[in-house]
Amino acid sequence: MQSNTEYKPEWIREDFIDFIAEKFDSIWAWKRIKAEISGVKVLSSDFIQLRLRPNQNFKVQDYQAGQSILLTVLIGGVRHQRSYSIVDISDQGQIAVAVKKQGAVSNALTALQAGDVVEISQPQGGFVLKPSAQARLLLASGSGITAIYALLAAHLRQSRQPIDLIYFTRDGAYAAEIQALAAQYPHFKFHLINTLQQKLHADAALLAQRVPDFKSRDCYACGASAMMQRIQQLYAQLDLTEQLHTEYFQIPADENLESQPVKFLRAQREFQAKSNLLESAELAGLKPAHGCRMGICNACSCTKVQGSVKNMLTGEIDSRNNAQIKLCISQAISPVVINL
């Protein structure tokens, strides 16, 4: 019996075109966004800034201050992705990101030199300035200064409303640049707190002392999980949650929840999940697709067949069958079955 299915050769292959094109320009590609490292700046002993020259596929016009990109690197022949906030984009379209040495991907990126090529994503994420006529308060700690610095610069370009930045830091990355902005813009006040010298925390007393009218301001916070948890609890207690906008680099799991059995249907594997579902699966030896690990991209999105999970960003409980979830920000609160 003759089959009606005909073999149709793929006359134009993207990978072949990219292979030929990179012989003429290392970052040229048909669809992928490749970027050349055009500069490396040391911010501290374990924190560097990379300046990236992206190819024509990067949609610079879509960028909003506070957004991030996914950077992809090859480690042992395996592609790994992590999300990094864009510090700024120059008039020539070059992207600056800052990378702290704190993991395999970050260590690989900090070893790059000018001329090396990486793959990146389009700008993504919703941690951007919301339209408002109110004054603003910015809170940053550690590498969270990257997104906050971008928001600060955007505010100063767009608004004459007062803005304060409280920055908890050990290394003072970008402090000199921010001090220069404070000298240039009278409506901007900079509160630099060296955590090696001052054991201060982002609590109600400190906010009231540094920014007396903080309760009437929109607040944008980005930083380590301890600060983020403290700020979220404070704003909830003050009934100001709607004024608080946050971005996490490490999303804390609820330690009060018991571990739960999780089953991956297609992999035919079962494991116990205590932290988020992505980390729990990785600890069990599984390798689900993932990207930002922050709930921004959709690389780890999958179908929860049954069971209940808690969204670690919003606290919402999802008990629906056949619902889409993101593994990196979902924590099991009952036995869960996932179509993976």
Q: Which residues contact 124 (CB under 8 A, 6 or more apart)?
A: 67, 68, 69, 70, 83, 292, 296, 297
Average pLDDT estimate for 135-162: 96
Residues 114 and 24 in one domain: yes
Q: Which residues contact 107 (CB under 8 A, 6 or more apart)?
A: 101
Residue identified by tokens 């297609």 is 266
Please report, for the domain that includes residue 37, its CATH number: 2.40.30.10
Residues 296 and 316 in one domain: yes
Q: Which of 170, 212, 163, 219 is nearest to 193 (CA)?
A: 170
| Residue 4 is assigned to a structural domain of this protein | no
Please report, for the domain that includes residue 191, its CATH number: 3.40.50.80
Q: What percent of the chain has pLDDT over 70?
A: 91
Q: What tens digit of pLDDT does each residue of 177-210 get?
A: 999 999 999 999 999 999 999 989 999 999 999 9
| Residue 7 is assigned to a structural domain of this protein | no
Residues 173 and 224 in one domain: yes
**Greatest Cα-to-Cα distance within the chain, rounded to the nearest angstrom:** 84
Tell me if 236 sits within 8 A of 244, measured CB to CB.
no
Q: Which of 93, 120, 147 is the last residue of a domain?
A: 120
Residues 21 and 83 in one domain: yes
What's the one-letter identity of residue 335?
A: P
Q: Which of 222, 229, 250, 243 is nearest to 127 (CA)?
A: 222
Residues 140 and 239 in one domain: yes
Per-residue pLDDT band at 68 (split at 50, 70, 90): very high
Domain membership of residue 111 as a residue range: 14-120
Residues 162 and 194 in one domain: yes
| Residue 254 is assigned to a structural domain of this protein | no
| Residue 253 is assigned to a structural domain of this protein | no
| Residue 238 is assigned to a structural domain of this protein | yes
Q: What tens digit of pLDDT does each residue of 291-313 get?
A: 778 787 788 999 999 999 999 87
Average pLDDT estimate for 27-51: 90
Q: How far apart are CA 166 and CA 211, in angstroms?
A: 9
Q: Which of 86, 120, 154 is the last residue of a domain?
A: 120
Total domain count for the chain?
Answer: 3
Per-residue pLDDT band at 237 (split at 50, 70, 90): very high
Residues 284 and 222 in one domain: no
Residues 146 and 215 in one domain: yes
Residues 21 and 69 in one domain: yes
Residues 56 and 91 in one domain: yes
What's the one-letter identity of residue 268?
A: Q
Q: How far apart are CA 65 and CA 69, in angstroms?
A: 12
For 74, counting Cβ atoms within 10 Å of its Cβ (0-12 exposed, 13-18 middle, 19+ buried), the class is exposed
| Residue 100 is assigned to a structural domain of this protein | yes
Question: Could you write out the three-class secondary structure of 19-44?
Answer: HHHCCCCCCCCCCCEEEEEEEEEEEE
Q: What tens digit of pLDDT does each residue of 102-148 get?
A: 878 889 999 999 999 999 999 998 999 999 889 999 999 999 999 99
Tell me if 68 sits within 8 A of 292, measured CB to CB.
yes
Edge-to-edge strand list for the sheet holding 301-306:
269-273, 260-264, 336-338, 301-306, 323-326
| Residue 129 is assigned to a structural domain of this protein | no
Per-residue pLDDT band at 255 (split at 50, 70, 90): confident
Q: Which residues contact 337 (CB under 8 A, 6 or more apart)?
A: 262, 263, 265, 304, 305, 306, 307
Which pLDDT score is estimated for 3? 47
Q: What is the mean pLDDT of the chain?
A: 90
| Residue 3 is assigned to a structural domain of this protein | no
Exposed e or buried b per residue across 47-69, where buried means at least 16 C-beta atoms within 10 angstroms of its C-beta: bbbbbbbbbebbeeeebbbbbbb
Residues 64 and 148 in one domain: no
Q: What percent of the chain has pLDDT over 90?
A: 71
* Sign of torsion over alpha carbons 46, 47, 49, 54: positive
Q: Which of 89, 120, 151 is the last residue of a domain?
A: 120
Residues in the chain, total? 340
Residues 205 and 291 in one domain: no
